[in-house]
Amino acid sequence: MNANQSTSAVRLPGGLRGGILRFRQFAARRSFAWNVSVMLAGTVTGQAVSLLLSPLLTRLYSPSEFGYLSVYSAVLGIFGTVASLGLDIAIPICMADGDCANLLALSGVALIATTGLVALFAWLVSAHMLSVLWVASLADDRWLLPIGFACLGGYYLMVSVATRSGAFNDIARTRIAQGVTGPVSQILLALAGFGTPGLVLGFVIGQSSGTLLLVQRTVLRRRAWLRGISWRGVLDMARRYAGFPLLACWSRMLDNAGAGTVLFILFTACYSSKVAGFMFLSERVIARPLLVLSTSLLQVFTGEAGRAISQDPVLLRRRFYQVVPLQFLLVSGWILIANVIAAWAFPVVFGTRWAGAVPYLHALSVSYLMLSVLHPVSMTLQMLERQVTPAVWQVCRLTLLVGAVLLARGHGVSAVNALWICSGVQAVCCLVLLGLMAASIEHVVRRWDSRAV
């Protein structure tokens, strides 16, 4: 609250001031709940279609082919989210329209440059080098990497613009498009005889669906906004948000690696692609439905937090302590149900060759519980511009995960037991980060209160 607002509030009668405060709190709660509901409806619809089509996909593609997709999606998941060098994270907290337009232009330039580097790498790197990097299976279809990188990076960039403008209806439509176009494309490409590349191409089509819709709704309809773009403005934004490419970018990449995607690569290299396929199906059954709620909460929490950081940090604290316990309760219920029925459902729904995935689902449940609780608030420290803390945390977590897999393999531990160890490491790391977020939010609130006094 600024000085003028404080003075005006003091002049009002106490009862009226209390009524205004209660009305504002009610409006904020309603807006937050409504936006989450919109995102939830779109994501539920998309994920429901995807899950309904999964039994057909598991009969068209083998566990080894899904293992290949798990490696490809892991590589894309680790690097695709930093295609704009982390500048898209800054878009929701950029308040001035002119600055945001220039920041969008800067992000677009970064996306073009990084896509060019990925294409050059895919063209020049040898099969031996890919083997050294534990992704030898991608050698034959390496041309798919820059395509997926550009499509996914463009989608993430447009989602950030839509989040800033509160276009949650449009984001929800893209969730529906993803749930439909991805599996349908994979089915059609399988029937056309494309094999494993068809599975990957369908994944890219699905993940980037809705990008053009967001471009039309959030960018092209605001041509006056775009006329403010200039080279000087772009350079000013590059200096203002330099910390995002230098720190937040790498933190975000490590976050995606440590969130479990690197495990697909490690288990493929240390055990087999069939094991990775079992893990991929388990992730699809457990984690994908959990993304229905966590992604919806993430978009709305990020959009509201971006404003609250500079205008009302107390609201940020209230939302944080509201979202985390709610997410824990909901996630726990779903994981319990999935674990109870998995032994019966997997061979019946997905086919007998997928029965071996059940032990992997049990092992992954612990890590997915904590990852899903963390996900809706995962951008908190980045938005607070405390990029160093999550960067250090990400390095430590990734080191522990990689070390756990390599040590387990070196001592002859089975794939399932190695996965249990990794899940325990993941859960502890997530608890540590939640504690760091809570401490940082309290620090910002105390500083805000001291200024108000």
Minimum mean pLDDT among 194-198, 335-339, 387-391, 402-406: which range?
A: 387-391
Stronger pLDDT, 260 or 280, i.e. the higher one: 280
| Cα–Cα distance measured from residue 373 to residue 330, given in angstroms and rounded to the nearest whole number | 9
| Cα–Cα distance measured from residue 62 to residue 196, given in angstroms and rounded to the nearest whole number | 9
Report the pLDDT value the prediction gives residue 1, as an integer from 0 to 100: 40
What is the rounded average pLDDT for all residues in the chain?
81
Nearest to 365 by CA among 336, 344, 345: 336
Minimum mean pLDDT among 27-36, 46-55, 64-73, 135-144: which range?
A: 27-36
Yes or no: say if 438 and 320 are a contact pair by the CB < 8 Å rule. yes
**What does the pLDDT average to over 213-230?**
78
Report the pLDDT value the prediction gives residue 22, as an integer from 0 to 100: 42
Report the pLDDT value the prediction gives residue 6, as an integer from 0 to 100: 36
What does DSSP assign to residue 312?
A: -
Q: Which residues contact 3 (CB under 8 A, 6 or more apart)?
A: none
| Cα–Cα distance measured from residue 414 to residue 281, given in angstroms and rounded to the nearest whole number | 19
Q: Is the model's pTM score more than 0.75?
A: no
Report the pLDDT value the prediction gives residue 131, as an integer from 0 to 100: 77
| 42 pLDDT higher than 70 | no
Which strand (E) or helix (H) includes residue 357? none
Residue 53: which pLDDT band, with cuts at 50, 70 and 90?
A: confident
| Cα–Cα distance measured from residue 111 to residue 173, given in angstroms and rounded to the nearest whole number | 24
Number of H helices, E strands in the chain: 20, 0
Nearest to 423 by CA among 270, 287, 298: 287
| 82 pLDDT higher than 70 | yes
**What does the pLDDT average to over 293-319?**
75
Tally the residues of the chain: 453
Most distant CA pair in the chain: distance in Å? 76
Report the pLDDT value the prediction gives residue 13, as an integer from 0 to 100: 43
Which residue in this structure is represented by tokens 């951008």? 379
Three-state secondary structure call for residue 384: coil
Residue 386: which pLDDT band, with cuts at 50, 70 and 90?
A: confident
| Cα–Cα distance measured from residue 327 to residue 341, given in angstroms and rounded to the nearest whole number | 22
Stronger pLDDT, 47 or 240, i.e. the higher one: 240
Task: Express each pLDDT in 150-167 by its tens digit.
Answer: 988 888 888 888 888 777
**What does the pLDDT average to over 431-452?**
86
Which residue in this structure is represented by tokens 């820059």? 146
Task: Express each pLDDT in 111-148 by its tens digit.
Answer: 999 999 999 988 888 877 877 777 777 777 788 889 88
Task: Express each pLDDT in 261-284 by its tens digit.
Answer: 788 888 988 898 899 899 988 888
| Residue 115, both tokens | 């896509």
Stronger pLDDT, 87 or 427, i.e. the higher one: 427
Q: What 3 state SS string does 420-448 have?
A: HHHHHHHHHHHHHHHHHHHHHHHHHHHHH
| 389 pLDDT higher than 80 | yes
What is the residue extent of each domain of the chain?
A: 28-452
| Cα–Cα distance measured from residue 295 to residue 378, given in angstroms and rounded to the nearest whole number | 11
Report the pLDDT value the prediction gives residue 229, as an integer from 0 to 100: 84
pLDDT over 90 for what percent of the chain?
Answer: 21
| Cα–Cα distance measured from residue 339 to residue 359, given in angstroms and rounded to the nearest whole number | 9
**What does the pLDDT average to over 100-113?**
91
| Cα–Cα distance measured from residue 71 to residue 266, given in angstroms and rounded to the nearest whole number | 9
| Residue 364, both tokens | 């992954």
Report the pLDDT value the prediction gives residue 315, as an integer from 0 to 100: 82
Minimum mean pLDDT among 13-27, 167-181, 298-312, 433-447: which range?
A: 13-27
| 18 pLDDT higher than 90 | no
Which residue in this structure is represented by tokens 């939302």? 319
| Residue 243, both tokens | 């910390």
Report the pLDDT value the prediction gives residue 26, as an integer from 0 to 100: 40
Half-sphere exposure of 373 (CA within 13 A, CB side): 28
| Cα–Cα distance measured from residue 421 to residue 417, given in angstroms and rounded to the nearest whole number | 6
| Cα–Cα distance measured from residue 158 to residue 214, given in angstroms and rounded to the nearest whole number | 6
Nearest to 304 by CA among 256, 233, 376, 399: 376
pLDDT over 70 for what percent of the chain?
Answer: 85
What does DSSP assign to residue 12?
A: S
- CA torsion through residues 238, 240, 242, 248, sign: negative
| Cα–Cα distance measured from residue 211 to residue 152, given in angstroms and rounded to the nearest whole number | 9
Report the pLDDT value the prediction gives residue 35, as an integer from 0 to 100: 64
Stronger pLDDT, 124 or 18, i.e. the higher one: 124
Nearest to 187 by CA among 282, 63, 55: 55
| Cα–Cα distance measured from residue 215 to residue 155, given in angstroms and rounded to the nearest whole number | 9
Nearest to 255 by CA among 89, 40, 69, 136: 89
Stronger pLDDT, 170 or 254, i.e. the higher one: 170
Report the pLDDT value the prediction gives residue 378, as an integer from 0 to 100: 84
Helix axes 249-256, 63-80, angle to 10 degrees: 160
